[in-house]
Amino acid sequence: MYKVLIVEDDPMVSMINEQYVRRNKKFFVAGVCRDGKNALEFMDSHDIDLIILDVFMPHQDGFETLRQIRKKQISVDVIMVTAANDRESLEEALHLGIVDYLVKPFTFERFCMALDKFIAQRNALNELGTLNQKSIDFIIDSARKKSEDMHPKGIQEKTLHLILKYMKENGHMWMSGENIAEEVGLTGVTVRRYLNYLTEVGSVVGEINYETGGRPCMLYKVVE
C-alpha cells in the first residue's frame, strides 16, 4: 500500500483530495499538512511514497517545498495540484520531476488517472533489475504513452489535437461548436463532447452568447 501525504491549505480541497485517495485501496493517507514547512517536518519522521502537493500556500509554497525535497534528496513522487495553468508554472513543475500536474477544479476521474500514472511508473521501475538502454527506453516510452492516454473514454488524442490546433490558430476569436465542426470536418456532437472535456480540464473557456437573435448558444475560446 502506497503512503500518501496531502499538502493543501484549503480544508475543503484537502478533504476532497483525502476522500479521493481513500477510494483507491492501493493508497493510504499517512498525513495531511497545511503548508510546505509542516510537510518537510512530517517527512523527517515518516516515509512517504507520494505527495499531493498544492502550489499556493502560506509560509512556503509548493514550488519551494518541492525544491527543498529535491535538495534533501528525499525519495518521493509528487502530483502537483494548482489553480495555475500558465506555461511557466508547468515548465518549473516538470523540471522538478513531478508525476502529474492537476489544474483545479479537476474531476475524480482525472485524479484517478494521476494515481494510475504513479502506479504504472513505480511498477515499471520495480519490475526491472539492472537497467540498460533498452529497459530505460521502455520506462520512458511507457510514461509517455501513459501521459497520452490521460483522457477519458471516448476522447482520442488525434481528434483532441485537431480541435485544439484549429482553436489555437484562431486564439483571439470566440467560436461556436458548429463553426469548429464545419472547419475541422467533424460532427457537431463530436466537437461539443471534446469542447466540454477541454473546458473541464481548463484548456478552453466557454460563455453563453445571448445576442443570437434566437436561441442562445455557447461560444468557446482557447486559454492563452
pLDDT in tens, 12-49: 999 999 999 999 999 999 999 999 999 999 999 999 99
Q: pLDDT higher for 157 or 56?
A: 56
* Residue 51, pLDDT score: 97
Across 170-176, average pLDDT: 87
Confidence of residue 123 (pLDDT cuts 50, 70, 90): confident
Is the residue at 18 inside a domain?
yes
Same domain, yes or no: 18 and 92: yes
* End residue of a domain, out of 74, 89, 105: 105
What range defines the domain where residue 89 resides? 2-105
- Any domain includes 127: no
Q: What are the angstrom distances between the C-alpha of 161 and each of 20, 76, 191?
A: 29, 32, 12
Residue 8 shares a structural domain with residue 88: yes
Across residues 61-74, what is the average pLDDT? Answer: 92
Question: Would residue 32 count as lying in a domain?
Answer: yes
State pLDDT tens for residues 132-159: 666 666 555 655 555 555 566 678 878 8
- The alpha carbon of 183 is separated from its chain's Cα centroid by a whole number of angstroms, namely 29
**Which of 50-54, 114-118, 131-135 has the lowest average pLDDT?**
131-135
CATH for 208: 1.10.10.10
Indicate whether 115 belongs to any domain: no
Band of residue 63 on the pLDDT scale cut at 50, 70, 90: very high
- The number of CA neighbours under 13 Å toward the Cβ of 141 is 6
**Percent of the chain with pLDDT strictly greater than 70:** 85
Task: Name the least confident of 6-10, 95-99, 123-127.
Answer: 123-127
**Domain shared by 164 and 73, yes or no:** no
Question: Is 125 within the bounds of a domain?
Answer: no
Give the tens place of pLDDT for each residue, 182-209: 999 999 999 998 998 888 777 788 888 8
pTM of the prediction?
0.62
- Please count the structural domains in the chain: 2
Write out the three cell numbers for 52: 499531493
Flag whether 112 is in a domain: no
What's the CATH code of the domain at 34? 3.40.50.2300
91 inside domain: yes
Shared domain for 161 and 101, answered yes or no, is no
Are residues 92 and 163 part of one domain?
A: no
Domain boundary among the residues 70, 85, 105 is at 105
Q: Does pLDDT of 88 surpass 90?
A: no
- Among the candidates 66, 82, 105, a domain finishes at 105
Tell me what pLDDT residue 172 has.
81
Q: For residue 116, is it within any domain?
A: no
Residue 150 pLDDT:
57
